[in-house]
Amino acid sequence: MTLPNDELAGLADAAVQKEAAGLAQDGFIRIFRLLAEGDEAAAELGLSVIEARARDWAMQGSSEEANTLRLALLISGLDQWGLAWTQAFGLAALPGLTTLLGNLRNPLDAQASARFEQQFAAIEAREDNAIDFKIELRRGIHLALWHAMVACDEREPAERLLQHLGSMMRVLTEMMPTYGWRLVADALAHIQLRCLDPNFAADPEHSSLAQETTQGLFTALNHSLPADMAKQVMAQATQVVLAYQRAQQQQAAQADPT
């Protein structure tokens, strides 16, 4: 397989891209919690803090172009989190998120706005571009929806989330025909690792329904993806899990040489 050729890595290296994905995830989760609590004053204050943090981080690049790309990554990430959540839970919109995106985007002057549009479009222009950001972002979204699914007490919402998550992963392989399957395999590997965690397995909240829907996700992808791709996805996910387990065993052996 051809290694990614990220045309944006010169302005935002892998570490910056991963940080952008993490900040987008943290910002979205904070916004969602603030809105869920229903305290308008607290939500307004919280949004201002999130906005200030985002602005400060976006200005830490080495040039105007790097700063603009940082802002574009953040806005892209927040927008994708919002889209995934509204579709998964049938929400019309998330007002706090809409406000934040506008506050980050609207103050740009004509020159900065043109630069932003160019950088924002470049993220999706090639699969390779901002690939570390895309991997980290999608992993967070997929795992968050999976956690929401396994936390369901009732079958109907659990199965609705199962269908949405499976569809989202399948569409990703169509949108990114070269690397999409690897992003799906990455998410499935992390789901398997969470399931193997003794603390997770022992949690009484993770019922038989959670186990059933998790298995259902793997089965649905195995059936809905092209056969060759499905084999690649499952094999890659298994390799990641086995590599992690070997690394854990080696660490344990080094910590206790007896």
The Cα 198–Cα 64 span in angstroms is 47
Q: Could you report the per-residue pLDDT of 61-112, keeping only the tens digit for each?
A: 999 999 999 999 999 999 999 999 999 988 877 888 999 999 999 999 999 9
The Cα 144–Cα 208 span in angstroms is 19
Type of residue numbered 244: Y
Q: Could you report the per-residue pLDDT of 116-148, keeping only the tens digit for each?
A: 999 999 999 999 999 999 999 999 999 999 999
User: What residues contact 134, with CB distance under 8 A and at least 6 apart?
Assistant: 176, 179, 183
Q: Could you report the per-residue pLDDT of 37-55, keeping only the tens digit for each?
A: 877 788 788 889 999 999 9
Query: How big is the chain, counted in residues?
Result: 258
Instruction: Give the model's pLDDT for residue 206.
Output: 59
Which residue in this structure is represented by tokens 């959670």?
Answer: 210
Instruction: Give 195's pLDDT tier (boundaries 50, 70, 90).
Output: confident
Alpha helices in the chain (DSSP H): 14-37, 40-58, 64-89, 95-105, 110-125, 131-150, 155-175, 180-196, 198-202, 208-224, 227-255
Which residue in this structure is represented by tokens 């995830």?
Answer: 25
The Cα 142–Cα 161 span in angstroms is 11
- The predicted model scores a pTM of 0.90
- Residue range 229-246: mean pLDDT, rounded: 92
Q: Which two tokens stand for residue 85?
A: 């959540």
Instruction: Give 205's pLDDT tier (boundaries 50, 70, 90).
Output: low
Instruction: Give the model's pLDDT for residue 32.
Output: 87
User: Burial, 54: exposed, middle or buried (Cβ in 10 Å; 0-12, 13-18, 19+)?
Assistant: buried
CB 64 within 8 A of CB 115: yes
Would you give the distance in Å from CA 171 to the centre of its chain?
15
Domain boundaries, the chain: 11-125, 130-258
